[in-house]
Structure formats: C-alpha cells, structure tokens
Amino acid sequence: MKDFLFEPICINQLEIKNRIYMPAMHLGMAVDYEVTDQIVNFYRERAQGGAGMICVGFATVDEFSGSPLNIGVHRDSFLPGLTRLADTIKQNGARSAVQINHAGRYNPSFFMQGKSPVAPSAIASRLTHEVPHEMSIAEIETTIEAFAQAARRVQSAGFDAVEVLSGTGYLISEFLSPLTNQRTDAYGGSLENRMRFGVEVMAAVRNAVGPDFPLIVRMNGNDFMPGGNSHQELTEYAQVLAQGPADALCINVGWHEARVPQIVTSVPRGIFSYLSRSIKAKVDIPVIASHRINDPDIAREMLADDMCDMVAMGRSLIVDPRMPEKARSGQEDQILHCIGCAQGCFDNLFKLKHVECLCNPEAGYEGQKNLEKSANPKKVLVIGGGPAGMSAALAANLKGHKVTLYEQYDWLGGQLYLAATPPGREEFSQLAFDLEEQLAARDITVMLNQVADVKSIAAADPDVVIVATGAEPITPSIPGIDLPHVVQAWDVLEDRVVTGGRVAIIGGGAVGVETAQFLAEKGTLSADAVKFLLVNKAEDPETLYELATKGTKQVILVEMLEKLGPDIGKSTRWGMLQDLSRFGVISVTGSKVCEITPAGMRVEKDGAIEEIAVDTVVIAAGSKSVNILEDVLKELRIPCKVIGDADRVALAFDAIHQGHAVGLSL
C-alpha cells in the first residue's frame, strides 16, 4: 500500500526523499550568533533520524532582527559555522534550509544594547510593551537588501534552500497587518500596499539566489488577531507569492500575542490543516502544513486527504529524532510523541535557556552525556512505575544494567494519568503509554501489583535500588477538614468521588486549576455534539458556544497567593486561565480558608471574613513525598538513590530528567 509520508517531492528542482519537513524553531543554542557544537549535534541526530528536509533558524538578517542566541547570517564571518551545519545535515541524509527573519517590534531593546526595535508604525506590542521606531523608506530599502544578502550567505554556505518567515507577528507580517501598519505611503493603506514590503523582500531574495535555488515562504494562514489580516487577505497574499518568487509555502498560524492556543496540549492534533488545505486549493506550488502534527498517522491522513503536500513536524522531532525512520521501518510503537506541554521547548526561551524536552531528556544535550555501556553491570531495582521510575529504568538499561521495576498497582504511569484527566490534557496519557512501550521493548523486568518491602527487596537481591515512590496529596490543618463533603483533588480527577452542584477548591496551583477545569466542563457539550448540532443546524452558533462553555457546576477556586497557577508553564498558563474565565470559574485570590463548615467554608480576605456556601470542598493544597523505603534500605545496607517526587515534589519534567540522570550515573 502506498505510504504518502515517504513519497519524494520536489521544491523547485530540489528532490526531497519524503514529506517530513522539520521547521525552524528557536533553540537558544547559538553563542553571539555563531553556530555551536550543540546546534550541530542537535541537527545531526534529526538528519540521521530520517527527516526529509530540515530548516534551521530563525536566522538574523541584521543587528535589529534577533538576539545573539539566534543563528546569525548577517555577516560573512558566520559562513564557516553555517557551512559546517549545512554539511552535517546533508551528509546525514536530509535536505537543508535556513529560515531568515526579522523580528521587528517583537525584538526587545535589551537584545540591541538599548536601541529601539523597528516596525512599519510606532505601535507597541503586548508581548514586549515597547514602542518601536517607525522605519523610514531608506531603512525599509536597507532591510530588504539585508534579507537578500542573508539569503546569498545561506546559498554560499551550501544549504539546499532558503526560507523567509512572513508571519507570527514579525516584521513582514507587521507590514501586512492593518493592526501594526498605519502608514500612509506606498507601504501602507490598501492590501496591495501592505503586501509590498513582503513581496519586495521575496523578489530581492530571488534575485540574490537565482531562479533555481528553492525559496520557501513561511506565512500565516490566520493571524488570530481581531482586526488583523483576514484569512481571505492572507490567501490573496499566498497567491501573489505563488505566482512570483516563492517555490513553496509553509503555512503557520497565529501571532505570539494571539489569544488562541497554537502549540500546547489543548490544541487538537493537526487541527490547523484546514488553513493549508484552503491555500493549497488556490496555488500551484507545494504547501506545507504545520502545528501539532505529532504522529505519522495524522500526517499520512492529511497528505492522503489532499490537505497539504508536506507536513512540518518540529517539536515531534525534538522529542523523537528517529520518528521518521521508525515510521518508515514499521517501528511506530516505539515512537515518543510530543505531548504539547511546551515546558522544555517554548517555556525555556522565556528564561533565555536552550531547548530541552520533558519527554526526551537527551534533547539539547546530544553528544554531551555518557551513554557508553557500564564496565561493571549491576542488578538494579527500581521501585515505582511513574515517570521518574520509568525514565530511570530505561536509562539504567541503556547503560547495560539488569533492571527490574516494581509497581504496586496494576498499571504504569503514575501521576501522568492524573495530569491527563482535565479537558485538553489527554496527551499526558500518551507519554505514559509511550514510556510503557519503551520498557516492553527493552530487556527490563516489570512486575505489577508488586509491593516493595523487606522481603521482596531481599528476594530481588539488587546491587542498587532506585526509589521512585512518588507523592501523596497534603491534607492541611483546617478546622472542619474531616467533614464528609470534603474530598481530595486527586480523588475528583480519578472519578472516585461525586461532587455537588456548587464546589469550592482550596488551592490555586496546577492541580487546583486543572481540577477547576475538569469540574467546570461537567455537563458541557462535547466536540462531537457541537459538530452534530452545528452541521444539522439544530442550534445557532451562539447557543452552541454557550452550551459548550456553560456546565452544570458552579466552581469557586480559592488561593492564598494573589496569582493562580504559578507552577504552570508560561506557554500553557494563560490559556488555562482564559478557560477558567470562559467556563465561569470564580477565582478568589489572596484569601485564606479559616474553617470548613457543614454549609461551606469561611474565608478571610483583607482582614474580613466571608461565608461561602458550597456543597463540596475539594482540597488541592499540594503534595508531599512518599519515601518509607530509604531507611529500610539503609538497614539492609543496599545502596539507594531517591528520585522524582519521592525525593522532592516537582514537575513531571524534573522527574523524568532526574530519573534519566540517575539511571545514567550507575
């Protein structure tokens, strides 16, 4: 049977071996714009893993366009590093490209020694809150030439293609959008004028690289910015590009300041392919779909259904560099999937840290860790089959140790399944499943329903024990905590208890927010129900929206701090808080619960006491480590390592990375 994913395709005259395109992503790995060993090692693995084409970047076209953590192509002195990167990608089996870009008003002044960012008009961004300098005609012409010279360097360095970023709220899309372009000259006003800058950039690039060098344009299919470019305008722009300089279009979505989630776990897989589909119907050049395509079968379906000509799989390849080869060779059960958590990729960039990955502890550290087999293999017993324990078991096995894993329940995954319960968080169960599949494929003995005690540990006769026994919820000392209508958030999320129509949640951290989401959506229409009613015109869209967002419970979230979800990653938090508001959750911050009463609870805020009537009180006050085995192991004189929540309550990211590090250290 024909596999659309592994059919070759041509862009201009360049043949690409399959339809998997790794798009440019911020890695934060450059040093003073220079290509580093870390970047080369990162892309070497993705090229070896079977991607058809890899685009690196974005890369800066001048000193105003990015930061020193970006790859630079604005000086000839960067050519040796660029050449090395191009050679590495091509020598390991993939086609290579560089995305060139100018961040415009998104580039903060601290990356430019205090100089103001530039833009078509002096309109501040909600992202940086800085007012940019309005570009003069001379500055526009200089910037267009900078793009052209950057493309020339990309070609000179030996890359197979150049991509120009014309979306995401960066400079070219700032010229295109009426939100950010209020000019009255030839570059502002009508759509034709607002397109002018982007079209002239592409024409200058084409002139610089010649007719046969592939030029890809990454552009938005929808900005998701009220008052910005409509999909119709962007389609017209795509047609102009396709009739002129562009050889392929990679369809992006949204601006960084848009209020529609784009990359996180709540975004359904492959949902934005409708944008590539509509543009593909209007142009005669290859169209690449992107965003949340994390599984080969999703990609195959999109290709088979003529939604696109290629699929951009970016974070999917951060998680599993060998995903293409696994898909090609019938090893899809061994693929690690991106779960859209954004904790190590996008969130790290806000911290000026390089890209890492919750699911793949090797990402960002390619070639830096000791993966050689141990000269002294040991019998390793891992106690606990949550994310930390599974990660430790896999890493210890990688080092050549004989590994046995004990899990007291009849399933693996631990709190990953708890994290997967709230709406839009289902992907966390995919990670639990993937890790379980990894264990099954290795020479690792997994014993379910196995309680770890003195007898069972002694029978295993291990050389070393890794304790990964996790955590349990905290029960705070609040008067009335033992009343029958008080329940734990974990029990709510696992459907072990029934809650009333009016529910208060004590604790506004991640678990409290997730529990609020879970309860607030009770009684709302499912996605399938909305589609059925919409297609059959049973209800009008406004009614459907209300039915999809108004549940049967009134949820009140009480937090002592002034801020909800401080332990939630920046990429995810705003969307979750937006959902709380959308689904009618009442947030009471800066408040302390003094007492739980049979009728509800008493809350203190700013020195005043308020009675809140509720049917159920849910405790989401955090977790505490469960570690009763360390002392037992000391008595048995068996060396042990304590990891994950058993060591210190933290995030799944920390548990998986710590487990991996400890497993490799043995």
Over the stretch 477-508, which tens digit does the pLDDT of each residue have? 999 999 999 999 999 999 999 999 999 999 99
Q: What is the pLDDT of residue 1?
A: 67
| Region 173-183 average pLDDT | 97
Residue 148 CA: distances (Å) to CA of 24, 55, 179, 194, 418? 19, 18, 26, 20, 51
357/359 Cα distance (integer angstroms): 5
Q: How confident is the model at residue 325 (pLDDT cuts 50, 70, 90)?
A: very high
Question: Of 134-143, 232-241, 564-573, which gets the smallest average pLDDT?
Answer: 564-573
Residue 15 CA: distances (Å) to CA of 8, 46, 84, 152, 242? 7, 19, 22, 21, 19
Q: With the C-alpha atoms ordered 629, 634, 640, 644, is the resulting torsion angle positive or negative?
A: positive
Query: Tokens standing for 330?
Result: 């019938």
According to CATH, the topology of domain 486-621 is FAD/NAD(P)-binding domain (3.50.50)
Q: What is the pLDDT of residue 349?
A: 87
4-350 maps to CATH 3.20.20.70: yes
Give the pTM.
Answer: 0.95
CATH of domain 379-471+626-665: 3.40.50.720
48/54 Cα distance (integer angstroms): 11
Instruction: State pLDDT tens for residues 354-381.
Output: 999 999 999 999 988 788 899 999 999 9
| Region 515-532 average pLDDT | 97
Instruction: State pLDDT tens for residues 593-616.
Output: 999 999 999 999 999 999 999 999
Q: Give percent above pLDDT 70 in the chain.
A: 100
Domain ranges of the chain: 4-350, 379-471+626-665, 486-621
| Region 391-398 average pLDDT | 98
3-state helix/strand/coil string of 192-228: HHHHHHHHHHHHHHHHHHCCCCCEEEEEECCCCCCCC
CA nearest neighbour of 246 among 189, 278, 288: 288
Q: What is the pLDDT of residue 250?
A: 98
Instruction: State pLDDT tens for residues 73-100.
Output: 999 999 999 999 999 999 999 999 999 9
Q: What's the chain's average pLDDT? A: 96
SS3 content of the chain, % helix, strand, coil (to 5): 35, 20, 45
Instruction: State pLDDT tens for residues 94-143.
Output: 999 999 999 999 998 888 888 899 999 999 988 889 999 999 999 999 99
Instruction: State pLDDT tens for residues 446-479.
Output: 999 999 999 999 999 999 999 999 999 999 999 9
Q: How confident is the model at residue 262 (pLDDT cuts 50, 70, 90)?
A: very high
Q: What is the pLDDT of residue 350?
A: 86
Q: HSE of 428 in the Cβ direction (CA atoms, 13 Å)?
A: 24
Q: What is the pLDDT of residue 188?
A: 98
| Region 645-660 average pLDDT | 96
pLDDT value at 29 more than 70? yes
364/41 Cα distance (integer angstroms): 9
Helices (H), 360-426: 387-398, 415-419
223/235 Cα distance (integer angstroms): 12
| Region 435-443 average pLDDT | 96
- Written as one letter, the residue type at 650 is A
